[in-house]
Amino acid sequence: MSDCCAGNGKGYDLAVIGAGSAGFSAAITAAEQGASVALIGHGTIGGTCVNVGCVPSKALIRAMESVHQAGSSARFDGIRANGCVTDWAALVSQKDELVSELRQAKYADLLPAYNNIAYIEGVARIAEGGVAVNGSFVRAPKVIIATGTRPGVPAIRGIETIDYLTSTTALDLKDLPKSLIVVGGGFVGVELAQVFTRAGVKVTIVCRSHLLPAAEPEIREALAAYFEQEGITILGGVAYERCLKRDEGVELSFRMGDRLDTLLAEKMLIATGRSPNVEQLGLVEAGIQQTLSGTVVVDDYMRTSREGTYAAGDVTGRDQFVYMAAYGAKLAAMNALNSDSLVYDNSTMPEVVFTDPQVASVGLTEAAAKAAGYAVATSVLSLDNVPRALAARDTRGLIKLVADDKSRKILGAHILAPEGADSIQTAVMAIKFGMTVEQLGETIFPYLTTVEGLKLAAQTFNKDVKMLSCCAG
C-alpha cells in the first residue's frame, strides 16, 4: 500500500520512519490524537519482533520445551516418555505461518482502520521540513525515527569468509546442523543455544565474559550449570582470534588466558548484539547525534539533538524489548504533538529471557543498588523451598530480592524458574508502588504457584521459611 500523494509534497502533522512495533505505536498514538501521519516503511512490514524476533523464536522455544519435558518425565515415578524432532522443516513452516498471520493481523490489517495514517513504502532520509522518500518529499514539522536494528557482526578476523548464521537466518534453517558454535552469551545466544541443543544439535557457547553478564551472579551461575547438564559446552572469558572455512564447516580460533584453542562445528551462529538501521537516514547531515555504535541519542523526552525530531525503539540502543519500543514511541508521539511533557521511565521495566528455566528481572541488581548508595539487604530463596516446584519435581532455580535495609522497600527482584516470566509482574507492581519486604511477605498469594515464591523470598529477610507450615505466615 502507498500514498498516492506522497510525491507532490502533501503535508502531515507527523512523519514516522519505520513500520515495526515502535513505528506503529507512534503512528497509532498520533492518529488517536487526531493528527495526520505519514508512516514510512521499507521492506517487510512489522519489524523485528513479529518477523524475526520474539514471535518466531518463542514458537520454537515452546516446541523444544515439549520435547525436553517428554524426555524428563522420568522424574515422576511410573511415567516414561520420549520426545524428538521428526521433521524440523515442518516445524519451521508452522512457525512461518504464525508469523505471517500475526504480521497481517497486527500490522497490515490495522492500517485501513486509521484514515489519518498514510502508509508510504520507501527508503527515507531526513530533510529540511520533513522526509525525503525515494526522491519525493513528505512535509512534516515533526519526525520520529523508529527504524530498529539488525543482527550485529563482531570484528573477528576472517568472519567475512564464512557462511555464518544470525538470529534471523538461524530461525529459517530447514535442516538441523549436527554441531553449532554460538558466539555470544546474551539473551539471543542463550535462548537459541538451548533451542538447538534440545533439537539434538551439539552446541558450544563461546563468550567474552559469562552467560547473561548483566544478570545476578547467582542466576547466571545456576543457569550455566543447568545448560551444562543439558549437554551445552560453555567457554567464557575468551578473546576471538579468527574464523576459517573448513570442509567440515567453520573453525573458530580463540584465546583463553595464554592458551590459543580452536573449535570446529558445522555451523556458527553470531549472537553478539544488534546494529542500528541508520545508514540511509542522513543523520550526520541533519545534525542528529549518534553514539559510537551508531544508535540515535535521545533524552528522557525521546528528543534527538535536532529540533522537532524524535527517536524510539531499538534504534536508540535503549531497553531493546518490544514493549519498551512501543512505550517509548508512544511517549515520542505524545511529546511531539503536546509540548514535550512526558518522561521515559524504565525504573520498573521487567526483563525476561526465555530459557528454561526462565530468567526474569525488574529493578536494581545488588551491585547496582550498592553503586547507587543504598544500604542493601538481600534474600536468596532456592526453589526447593517453593511447594509448586516440589510438586512439579523440578526445583531448578532461585528467587533473589534486593531491598533498601533502611526503608525496607524492595529495589529489585530476580527470578530463575520454569515459570519466572509469568511471576515477575507481581514484583513489578510491588516495586512500582513502593512495597516493603514486610508488606510483600504479608500479602496473600495462591498456594502451589511459582509466584508464591516471591512471598517466601520476602519472608526470608526475617525468618527461616523452612520452619513454616504450608501457607503459614
Question: Is residue 281 predicted with pLDDT exceeding 70?
Answer: yes
In this structure, the answer to whether residues 146 and 211 fall within a common structural domain is: no
Taking 50 as the threshold, does the pLDDT of residue 329 lie above it?
Answer: yes
What mean pLDDT is predicted for residues 2-10? 49
Instruction: Write down the mean pLDDT value for the chain.
Output: 95
pLDDT mean over 302-316: 98
Question: What pLDDT sits at residue 466?
Answer: 84
Query: Stretch 8-17: mean pLDDT, rounded?
Result: 86
User: Could you tell me if 178 and 196 are in contact, meaning their C-beta atoms sit under 8 angstroms apart?
Assistant: no
Average pLDDT value for residue range 147-169: 96
The predicted model scores a pTM of 0.94
37 and 145 together in one domain:
yes
pLDDT digits (tens, 9 = 90+) for 111-133: 999 999 999 999 999 999 999 99
- CATH of residue 372: 3.30.390.30
pLDDT score for 6: 47
Considering the domain boundaries, does residue 88 fall inside one?
no
Residue 472 in domain: no
248 shares a domain with 182: yes
Residue 152 pLDDT level (bands cut at 50, 70, 90): very high
Clarify whether residues 13 and 143 are in a common domain.
yes
Where is the binding site for FAD, in residues? 58, 314
Q: Which of 337, 367, 389 is the last residue of a domain?
A: 337
Domain end call among 337, 364, 390: 337
Asked whether residue 63 is domain-assigned, the answer is no
pLDDT of residue 4: 39
Give the span between the Cα atoms of 32 and 29, in whole angstroms. 5
Q: Please, is 247 exposed, middle or buried when counting C-beta atoms within 10 Å of its C-beta (0-12, 13-18, 19+)? A: exposed
pLDDT of 254: 96
Is 78 inside any structural domain?
Answer: no
How many C-beta atoms lie closer than 10 Å to residue 377's C-beta? 17
pLDDT at 32 over 50: yes
- Both 214 and 248 in one domain: the answer is yes
Strand order in the sheet with 239-246: 239-246, 249-256, 259-265
Domain check: are 388 and 245 in the same one? Answer: no
Has residue 302 got a pLDDT over 50? Answer: yes
Co-location of 145 and 167 in the same domain: no
Whether the pLDDT of residue 5 is over 50: the answer is no
Lowest-pLDDT range of 7-21, 137-151, 254-268, 279-293:
7-21
- How much is the pLDDT for 473? 57
Q: Are both 19 and 146 inside the same structural domain?
A: yes
Q: Would you list which residues are annotated within the binding site for NAD(+)?
A: 184-191, 273
Calpha distance 309→128 (Å, rounded): 11
What cell numbers appear for 248 in the block? 567440515
Query: Per-residue pLDDT for 8 more than 70?
Result: no
Contact 13, 31 (CB under 8 A): no
Query: Per residue in 337-362, pLDDT tens?
Result: 998 999 999 999 999 999 999 999 99
Instruction: Please give the annotated binding residues, written as ranges.
Output: 58, 184-191, 273, 314
Phi, psi of 333, deg, nearest 5: -65, -45
Shared domain for 361 and 399, answered yes or no, is yes
Percent of the chain with pLDDT over 90: 94
Residue at 71 is within a domain? no
Q: pLDDT of 423-454, one tens digit each?
A: 999 999 999 999 999 999 999 999 999 999 99
Let me know if residue 69 belongs to a domain.
no
Across 91-103, average pLDDT: 97
Question: What is the extent of the structural domain holding 370?
Answer: 351-463
What percentage of the chain reaches a pLDDT higher than 70?
97
- pLDDT (tens digit per residue) in 369-413: 999 999 999 999 999 999 999 999 999 999 999 999 999 999 999
The pLDDT tens digits of the residues spanning 66-80 come to 999 999 999 999 999
Q: pLDDT-derived band of residue 2, with 50, 70 and 90 as boundaries?
A: very low
Least confident window among 109-113, 285-289, 418-422, 463-467: 463-467
Q: What total of structural domains would you count in the chain?
A: 3
Q: Are residues 289 and 265 in the same domain?
A: no
Same domain, 174 and 248: yes
Please tell me the distance from the alpha carbon of residue 136 to that of residue 264, in angstroms, as a whole number. Answer: 50
Q: What is the CATH number of the domain that holds 132?
A: 3.50.50.60
For residue 467, name the pLDDT band (cuts at 50, 70, 90).
confident
Residue 470, pLDDT score:
75
Decide which of 312, 337, 362 is a domain's last residue. Answer: 337
Model confidence band, residue 135 (pLDDT cutoffs 50, 70, 90): confident
225 has pLDDT over 90 = yes
Q: What is the pLDDT of residue 1?
A: 38
Query: Is residue 267 domain-shared with residue 283, that is, in the same domain?
Result: no
**Domain membership flag for residue 97:** no
Nine-digit cell at 375? 544500604
Query: Does residue 53 fall inside a structural domain?
Result: no
